[in-house]
Amino acid sequence: MFKSLMLIALLALPTMASAQEAPSIRVAVPATLATLDPGMALGNAGFSVSHNAFDTLVKRNFLSNDEYTGKEFIPGLASNWERQDDLTMIFTLRDGVKFQNGEPLTADDVKFSIDRILDPDSLYVNARNHLSNIASIDVIDDKTVKVVTKIPDAAILDLMAYPGTSIVSKAYYEKVGFESFGQQPIGTGPYKIVSYTPDQALKFVAFADYWDGAPPAASLTFNIVPEVAARITALANGEVDIATSIPPDQIAAVDQLDGVSVESVLVNSHVLYYNTFAPFMNKKLRQAMNLAIDRELLGQALWMGMAKMLPSHQYAEWGPLYNADRPGFPYDPDKAKKLIAESGYKGEEIVFHSHPVYYTNGLAEAEAIVEMWRKVGLNARVQVNERWDAVKTDDPTFGARNSSDWTILSDPAATIGWTWGIAAKWKDKAAFEALAVDARSALDPEKRRDLYQQMLDLFEDEAPGTVLFRVREAVGVSDKIDWHPFTNYIMDFRKEALSFR
């Protein structure tokens, strides 16, 4: 009955594709969202939403390599762009773009979308961290905007492809306000959000007037299913077409289901942050903690060999900025014991705060790492904490916590600049931050590469934390569809990414 009512409702909407014209997609995901505003929903759970409902000026082409991690930049809402000088980029908007309520896209919408984030009184704190180098967004005419930065910015195209700079309707946002926009947003993307019940389901319908052609699915439904077993059962029973966040130890079982296959893609890296403000957590002790971690063993035992060991905190998609010859993170428990003795450590408790479910295998990794630390003489334990990201540096129980890096901007300015310059509990990071500014403002790739290698040298020596490895996101996919997840937890259901068999 409910399905029939939904079909009638969809048929009554003139700007959306008829539900009879194409099949629908149902996805089981583990996490819910507090807001659907693309400037706020910037975690792993938010990217699949913003990517389908909104567009950015510049589009990252994840299909430009065979691993679905491609970094090629192609036109999005901007048909072209050019660098006017070291501080200025000009973006020309494509013709014929409409918002999902029928309003035409103009340069005023672009300016408003970014200005609202730059407003120091706004709640867009995380997005503003990345956009803080933007001095102004100026409207030249209805189809042209000028982006001016405070200092040269080699990552400007990454920023314009960043979900936080998704373009929203100025008129609609000002009409409904911040809170209402977060629950019922309007974008220019191929699918329009029509309903959201937190902890239950998020529903989209196709936007037939999408500037790049009608999307292939009539509707999308994201069902919130926190339990892994329940997601797998729904996929096996045909209740959903895609089940996300399949743990490595369940992949073989899912792959054996009739009419189902498993697809995977490299996503973020799992990282650890240490509390460098704690008086006993000096550099030698932190270096010892890193040397005591057997990453290869963790990768085999918990990730079935699917974890990718890295040459320091680097990614191949950085292109000319990537140094494939840089050594990885060593495992040396004997040296760790020596450094612990030299550090003056007196058995103070090191509490590792770990969220119970946010990261696949995150808690299991924490428990294994604590055992490795104990073997070299550290007094460590795991504290399961659903509020682990809010632990303060002056909390005496905080020694370490798990997290993941920030790769949604495919540039080291974000990956290592944000991860270790902003998110880390790193007390003495002035030298690192100065290098980060120099590297981001260097428009010469060779100079940038050298500066980022210096940043990695400093990070490894000071050890405000460490990188474990890059993990894979595995999803179960019905054989009825031809679809693959993209890196950074992007789920794209546009025509170039989805087809029906």
**Structure tokens of 395?**
């909390």
Check residue 32 and give its pLDDT. 82
One-letter-per-residue 3-state SS of 213-242: CCCCCCEEEEEECCCHHHHHHHHHCCCCCE
Model confidence over 461-477: pLDDT tens digits? 999 999 999 999 999 99
Residue 5 three-state SS: helix
Q: Tell which CATH architecture fits domain 267-472.
A: Roll (3.10)
Closest by CA to 80, choosing from 38, 143, 134, is 143
pTM over 0.95: no
Query: What average pLDDT does this structure show over 47-52?
Result: 90
Query: What average pLDDT does this structure show over 177-204?
Result: 96
**Structure tokens of 171?**
């008129």
Choose the weakest-confidence range: 2-11, 333-342, 432-441. Answer: 2-11
Query: Running DSSP on this structure, what letter comes out for residue 25?
Result: E
> Is the pLDDT reported for residue 15 higher than 80?
no
> Is the pLDDT reported for residue 12 higher than 60?
no
User: How far is the C-alpha of 425 from the C-alpha of 407, rounded, in Å?
Assistant: 19
Model confidence over 221-279: pLDDT tens digits? 999 999 999 999 999 999 999 999 999 999 999 999 999 999 999 999 999 999 999 99
Check: CB of residue 455 under 8 Å from CB of residue 442: no
Closest by CA to 169, choosing from 117, 75, 101, is 101
Domain boundaries, the chain: 2-229+480-500, 267-472
Choose the weakest-confidence range: 132-146, 400-414, 423-437. Answer: 400-414
Query: What average pLDDT does this structure show over 328-338?
Result: 98
User: How far is the C-alpha of 259 from the C-alpha of 240, rounded, in Å?
Assistant: 12
Check: CB of residue 361 under 8 Å from CB of residue 247: yes
**Average per-residue pLDDT for the chain:** 93
For residues 235, 200, 208 and 494, what is the CA-based torsion angle, rounded to 10 degrees?
-50
Choose the weakest-confidence range: 125-134, 136-145, 258-267, 480-489. Answer: 125-134
Check residue 16 and give its pLDDT. 40
Check residue 19 and give its pLDDT. 39
> Is the pLDDT reported for residue 6 higher than 70?
no
Residue 17 — pLDDT band, cuts 50, 70, 90? Answer: very low
Topology at the third CATH level for domain 2-229+480-500: D-Maltodextrin-Binding Protein; domain 2 (3.40.190)
**Residue whose pair of structure tokens reads 């890295």 in the numeric block:** 310
Q: What is the DSSP string of 152-218?
A: --TTHHHHHTSGGG----HHHHHHHHHHHHHHS---SSSEEEEEEETTTEEEEEEBTT-TT---S-S
Check residue 21 and give its pLDDT. 62
> What is the bridge-based pairing of β-strands 242-243 and 260-274?
unpaired
Give me the phi and psi of 121, to 5 degrees please.
Answer: -90, 0
For residues 45, 51, 54 and 58, what is the CA-based torsion angle, rounded to 10 degrees?
130
Instruction: Judge residue 82's burial from the number of C-beta atoms within 10 Å of its C-beta, 0-12 exposed, 13-18 middle, 19 or more buried.
Output: exposed
Check residue 8 and give its pLDDT. 33
Query: Running DSSP on this structure, what letter comes out for residue 419?
Result: I
Check: CB of residue 202 under 8 Å from CB of residue 193: yes
Check residue 358 and give its pLDDT. 82
User: How far is the C-alpha of 339 from the C-alpha of 290, rounded, in Å?
Assistant: 11
Choose the weakest-confidence range: 244-253, 339-348, 387-396. Answer: 387-396
Query: Running DSSP on this structure, what letter comes out for residue 485?
Result: P
